[in-house]
């Protein structure tokens, strides 16, 4: 790709523009193909694909097989050009820079046809998932994907400004480290004062500085007023996300004033790896502000192959869906991109903790000097840009590269293994880790994920078994074993990846397909599945417990299969997540004390089968509704072990609470519970998982009128003074394909409106498993979905994301339950 412009990358973000002039070069550019056969206008920021689509020269790149049809775009060379005039006299300015915030990726830069530079790093780093993954398409984009502008200044210029709150345990006070980078173009030293002010903390401090010509760093240490109580930032569900407005003013010679404003948050984070009684390993959990917190959430991938489509509205919708599902953490996965500033700002505001990978994933990387220099610049830039965000709680060097090397995914000849191990340590430890620790002293650094943490370090930074459940974090996938059997899951310290696939809803697929694509083994369905044997694995897992769709109508069978894959995914991830949550307070055979569950993956990058719980565009799959329950702060979890039924109570609350556990047994053929038992008051300990109830299954069935496993289902909930504290959970006593007495459920709905919310009053003729309410492409979410309906009536709310009419909702509404496909 060619850019007809001077390129000088700013070290970190936009500078302060006082005593400077700025000219934005965003907007319309000219784009030309390599042989000149195509020439068209294109927007910057943007990419070639988007420009072609906006001019109707190509279809939606996601439509049908266009990821194959449009490979020619990525294989061609493209030139971006722009003619412009600078609206001020550049001779009056000591320095004029042309700044590109992001170029994708390999480019030659020309000014007036004179070559002045080259680029080869878009973060700096290649965006790996552009070349496809097992959940996404291959769209290697080209373009100017971030801001571009001209900056002119005299005397000096503030390149970047960053800060880190620090807590002094000995003095029991907060301090603030501020770092500012200047480009001093004056031939003489520049003197002046710096005034730092945080009004709500009654903190104002003044410093004298002198800047010598050249590139200069100013470091300030601000003591926060000890007489004022500092409110700390807490993750979602644990407290408020309090921040304080701060201004920093540089009053320099010749009446030069540079001012910067920011919001500063105060919080501490620790990664605790220490011996555990009853286990030969080490713990692996995070403390925020000294408080141990179970990390609940998912893994984030880029929200679109084309970053110019990722706007504020989409980011807020996706991240609001995170907290609406009771999550508190996202892992920004190392095969995607470092997200835009607004992503992290939203995480700060919403209380979403971020496990931030550096962009290295599932590959062996070079360690030549040029590459290492590029990586150092990338890491330094990203850490400086992001470290002031309280939401980021840890840096991680890469995704799965320790495991890939030590488990020999790439079939390396043993005689060469020493070289690859040496290169790994050189890149991630002696290079990336060194830069991170120099730039940021406020959060931990993990070399890889998964890793054995301190144990990996003790073994020379790579552990012989990176999946050791007694150390660090694990990634776990098993699509063949029965996911209803909790014994297949690793009782690990921290599960940072796990999951199962499903298909997105038909209304999502319909936009990018045609009628001939609408069956499970169509060419489209096979092409859209990028995980080897993925479609078969979904049916295999579903078939273990459900009857597969038998309709002779291809479209009906396709829709039923889509629905069943979502049921299967939701139930599988529910079972696994509940296992991790109930394992937080116990050690069994040296394993346990699980303190994190981040399933793979949160969001989709296009309309296709994947592990996501949010479809492309943000629609909730059944899994996301389930997540809202299995990540609830107070959760009863039921499971069997050797024909004994156990119920654990799991609490993320900060204080103990008294609860009553109610256990009900229902038959499949009746809407009235067969029997019910309530416990006496039980104490749910804060931040623990404890056994609340156990009973042998044969005794439970006899006590409830000679139920059988096939004819009955168990539900249970927590309450206090007759007020529900948790939604009802359930336990299936047999596979639903063996259920006896399950009848076709006729479910009707009366829809009404209360201001901006719609009310669905449901009535069913029979017990209905996995009731799914769908309103097609109407954007919004329900208060609950995919539920087991054991009562005759139930009220559900729909919260639209955009203005929606009653008629639109009524026309789009459909309801499905498992009995509809039997």
The 10s digit of each residue's pLDDT in 412-436 is 999 999 999 999 999 999 999 999 9
Residue range(s) defining the domain that contains residue 693: 635-738
Query: 3-class DSSP state for residue 712?
Result: strand
Q: Is 400 a catalytic residue?
A: yes
Residue 189 token pair: 């030293």
| C-alpha triplet 590, 591, 597: angle, nearest 5° | 165
Q: How far apart are CA 432 and CA 422, in angstroms?
A: 14
Query: 3-class DSSP state for residue 131?
Result: strand
Q: Let me know: does 16 contact 258? Beta carbons within 8 Å.
A: yes
Of 363, 304, 358, residue with least CA distance to 331:
358
Q: Say if residue 45 is preceded by a cis peptide, omega within 30 of 0.
A: yes
Query: 3-class DSSP state for residue 495?
Result: strand
Which band of pLDDT confidence, cut at 50, 70 and 90, is reported for residue 261? very high
The stretch 234-240 carries a mean pLDDT of 98
Say if 14 falls within a structural domain: no
How far from each other are the two terminal CA atoms of the chain, in whole angstroms? 56
Same domain, 628 and 681: no
List pLDDT tens digits, range 479-529: 999 999 999 999 999 999 999 999 999 999 999 999 999 999 999 999 999
Same domain, 184 and 309: no
Same domain, 705 and 757: no
Q: How far apart are CA 53 and CA 777, in angstroms?
A: 22
Say if 32 falls within a structural domain: yes
Same domain, 57 and 199: no
Same domain, 127 and 193: no
List pLDDT tens digits, range 46-67: 999 999 999 999 999 999 999 9
Residue 50 token pair: 């988007």
Backbone dihedral angles phi then psi of residue 573, each to the nearest 5 degrees: -70, -35
Of 127, 151, 339, 497, which one is the catalytic site residue?
A: 497
| Four-residue CA torsion sign, 20, 23, 26, 29 | negative
Say if 125 falls within a structural domain: yes
pLDDT value at residue 12: 34
Say if 2 falls within a structural domain: no
List pLDDT tens digits, range 727-785: 899 999 999 999 999 999 999 999 999 999 999 999 999 999 999 999 999 999 999 99
pLDDT value at residue 11: 29
pLDDT value at residue 1: 57
| Four-residue CA torsion sign, 669, 673, 675, 679 | positive
Q: How far apart are CA 147 and CA 23, in angstroms?
A: 11
Q: Which helix (H) or strand (E) holds 648?
A: strand 644-651
pLDDT value at residue 14: 35
Say if 427 falls within a structural domain: yes
Query: 3-class DSSP state for residue 301?
Result: coil
Q: How far apart are CA 307 and CA 50, in angstroms?
A: 10
pLDDT value at residue 683: 92
Same domain, 569 and 649: no
Question: What is the DSSP code string of 225-258?
Answer: PTTSPPPPB--TTSS-B--EEEEEEEEETTTEEE
Residue 192 scores a pLDDT above 80: yes
Same domain, 303 and 205: no
List pLDDT tens digits, range 271-322: 999 999 999 999 999 999 999 999 999 999 999 999 999 999 999 999 999 9
Residue 579 token pair: 């296992």
Query: 3-class DSSP state for residue 284?
Result: coil
- DSSP H helices, 11-96, are 48-54, 66-69, 71-75
Backbone dihedral angles phi then psi of residue 474, each to the nearest 5 degrees: -130, 155
Q: Is 127 a catalytic residue?
A: no
Residue 774 token pair: 């769908």
Say if 272 falls within a structural domain: no
Kindly compute the dihedral angle of the four CA atoms of residues 700, 702, 708, 711, in this order, to the nearest 10 degrees.
Answer: -80
Q: How far apart are CA 739 and CA 503, in angstroms?
A: 25
Of the candidates 612, 632, 652, which is a domain's last residue?
Answer: 632
Of the candidates 738, 766, 786, which is a domain's last residue?
Answer: 738
Backbone dihedral angles phi then psi of residue 312, each to the nearest 5 degrees: -60, -40
Q: How many folded domains does the chain comprise?
A: 5
Which band of pLDDT confidence, cut at 50, 70 and 90, is reported for residue 15? very low
User: Count of residues for the chain?
Assistant: 822
The stretch 60-82 carries a mean pLDDT of 95
pLDDT value at residue 694: 97
Which band of pLDDT confidence, cut at 50, 70 and 90, is reported for residue 3? low
Residue 707 scores a pLDDT above 80: yes
Least confident of 120-124, 713-717, 750-754: 120-124
The stretch 186-200 carries a mean pLDDT of 96
Q: Let me know: does 41 contact 51? Beta carbons within 8 Å.
A: yes
Backbone dihedral angles phi then psi of residue 652, each to the nearest 5 degrees: -105, 10
| Four-residue CA torsion sign, 555, 559, 564, 566 | positive
**270 half-sphere exposure, CB direction, 13 A CA radius:** 11
Same domain, 517 and 598: yes
Q: What CATH number should be reported for the domain holding residue 797?
A: 2.60.40.10
Q: Which helix (H) or strand (E) holds 403?
A: helix 401-406
pLDDT value at residue 10: 31
Say if 822 falls within a structural domain: no
Which band of pLDDT confidence, cut at 50, 70 and 90, is reported for residue 110? confident
pLDDT value at residue 90: 87
Same domain, 322 and 225: no
Same domain, 212 and 112: no
- State the DSSP code for 752: E
Which band of pLDDT confidence, cut at 50, 70 and 90, is reported for residue 98? confident
- pLDDT averaged over every residue in the chain: 94
Of 151, 400, 576, 615, which one is the catalytic site residue?
A: 400
**Spatial CB neighbours of 234, under 8 Å, sequence gap ≥ 6:** 240, 241, 267, 288, 289, 351
Say if 15 falls within a structural domain: no
Q: How far apart are CA 619 and CA 104, in angstroms?
A: 29
Same domain, 255 and 290: no
**338 half-sphere exposure, CB direction, 13 A CA radius:** 28
The stretch 148-153 carries a mean pLDDT of 92
Q: What CATH number should be reported for the domain holding residue 64?
A: 2.60.120.260
Q: How far apart are CA 614 and CA 303, in angstroms?
A: 10
Same domain, 567 and 639: no
Share of the chain above pLDDT 90, in %: 89
Query: 3-class DSSP state for residue 599?
Result: strand
Of the candidates 632, 656, 687, which is a domain's last residue?
Answer: 632
pLDDT value at residue 101: 87
Of 700, 697, 701, residue with least CA distance to 711:
701
């Amino acid at each position: 790709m060619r850019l007809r412009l001077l390129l000088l990358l700013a070290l970190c973000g936009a500078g302060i523009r006082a005593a400077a002039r700025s000219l934005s070069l965003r907007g319309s550019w000219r784009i030309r193909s390599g042989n000149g056969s195509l020439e068209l206008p294109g927007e910057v920021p943007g990419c070639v694909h988007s420009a072609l689509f906006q001019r109707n020269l190509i279809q939606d790149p996601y439509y049908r097989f266009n990821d194959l049809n449009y490979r020619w775009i990525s294989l061609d060379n493209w030139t971006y050009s722009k003619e412009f005039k600078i609206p001020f006299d550049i001779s009056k300015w000591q320095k004029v820079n042309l700044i590109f915030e992001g170029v994708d990726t390999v480019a030659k830069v020309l000014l007036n046809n004179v070559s002045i530079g080259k680029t080869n790093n878009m973060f700096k780093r290649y965006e790996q998932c552009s070349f496809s993954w097992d959940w996404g398409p291959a769209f290697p984009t080209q373009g100017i994907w971030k801001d571009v502008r001209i900056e002119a200044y005299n005397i000096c210029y503030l390149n970047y400004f960053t800060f880190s709150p620090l807590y002094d345990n000995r003095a029991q006070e907060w301090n603030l480290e501020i770092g500012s980078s200047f480009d001093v173009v004056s031939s003489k030293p520049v003197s002046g004062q710096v005034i730092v002010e945080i009004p709500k903390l009654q903190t104002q401090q003044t410093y004298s500085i002198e800047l010598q010509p050249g590139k200069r760093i100013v470091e300030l240490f601000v003591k926060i007023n000890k007489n004022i109580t500092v409110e700390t930032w807490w993750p979602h569900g644990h407290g408020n996300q309090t921040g304080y407005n701060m201004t920093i003013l540089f009053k320099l010679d010749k009446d030069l004033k540079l001012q910067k404003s920011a919001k500063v948050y105060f919080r501490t984070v620790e990664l605790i790896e220490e011996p555990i009684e009853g286990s030969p390993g080490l713990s692996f959990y995070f403390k925020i502000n000294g408080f141990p917190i179970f990390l609940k959430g998912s893994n984030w991938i880029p929200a679109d192959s084309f970053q110019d489509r990722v706007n504020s509205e989409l980011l807020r919708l996706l991240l609001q869906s995170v907290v609406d599902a009771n999550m508190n953490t996202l892992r920004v996965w190392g095969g995607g991109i470092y997200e835009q500033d607004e992503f992290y700002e939203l995480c700060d505001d919403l209380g979403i903790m971020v496990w931030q990978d550096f962009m290295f994933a599932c590959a062996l990387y070079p360690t030549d000097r040029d590459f290492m220099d590029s990586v150092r610049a990338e890491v330094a830039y990203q850490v400086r840009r992001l470290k002031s965000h309280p939401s980021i709680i840890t840096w991680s060097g890469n995704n799965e590269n320790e495991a890939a090397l030590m488990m020999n995914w790439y079939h390396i000849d043993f005689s060469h293994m020493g070289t690859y191990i040496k290169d790994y340590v050189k890149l991630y430890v002696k290079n990336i880790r060194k830069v991170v620790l120099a730039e940021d002293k406020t959060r931990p650094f993990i070399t890889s994920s998964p890793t054995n943490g301190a144990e990996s370090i003790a073994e020379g930074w790579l552990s012989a078994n990176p999946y050791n459940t007694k150390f660090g974090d694990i990634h776990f996938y098993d699509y063949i074993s029965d996911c209803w059997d909790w014994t297949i899951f690793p009782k690990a310290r921290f599960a940072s990846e796990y999951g199962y696939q499903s298909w997105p809803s038909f209304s999502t697929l319909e936009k990018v397909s045609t009628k001939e694509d609408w069956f499970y083994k169509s060419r489209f369905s096979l092409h859209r599945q990028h995980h080897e044997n993925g479609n078969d694995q979904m049916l295999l897992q579903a078939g273990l417990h459900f009857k597969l769709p038998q309709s002779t109508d291809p479209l009906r069978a396709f829709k039923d299969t889509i629905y069943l894959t979502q049921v299967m995914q939701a139930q599988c991830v529910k079972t696994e997540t509940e296992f991790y949550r109930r394992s937080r307070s116990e050690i069994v055979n040296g394993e346990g004390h699980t303190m994190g569950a981040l399933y793979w993956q949160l969001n989709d990058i296009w309309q296709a089968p994947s592990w996501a719980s949010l479809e492309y565009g943000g629609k909730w799959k059944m899994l996301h509704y389930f997540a809202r329950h299995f990540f609830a702060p107070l959760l009863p979890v039921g499971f069997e072990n050797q024909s004994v039924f156990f119920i654990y109570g799991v609490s993320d609350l900060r204080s103990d609470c008294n609860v009553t556990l109610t256990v009900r047994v229902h038959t499949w053929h009746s809407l009235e519970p067969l029997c019910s038992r309530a416990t006496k008051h039980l104490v749910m300990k804060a931040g623990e998982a404890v056994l609340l109830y156990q009973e042998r299954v044969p005794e439970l069935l006899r006590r409830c009128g000679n139920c059988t496993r096939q004819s009955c289902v168990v539900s249970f909930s927590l309450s206090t003074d007759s007020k529900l504290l948790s939604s009802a959970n359930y336990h299936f006593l047999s596979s639903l394909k063996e259920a006896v007495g399950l009848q076709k459920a006729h479910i009707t709905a009366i829809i009404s409106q209360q201001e901006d919310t719609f009310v669905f009053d449901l009535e069913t003729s029979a017990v209905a498993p996995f009731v799914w309410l769908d309103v097609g492409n109407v954007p919004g979410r329900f208060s609950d979905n995919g539920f087991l309906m054991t009562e005759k009536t139930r009220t559900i709310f729909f919260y639209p994301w955009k203005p929606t009419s009653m008629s639109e909702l009524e026309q789009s509404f459909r309801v499905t339950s498992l009995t509809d496909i039997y």
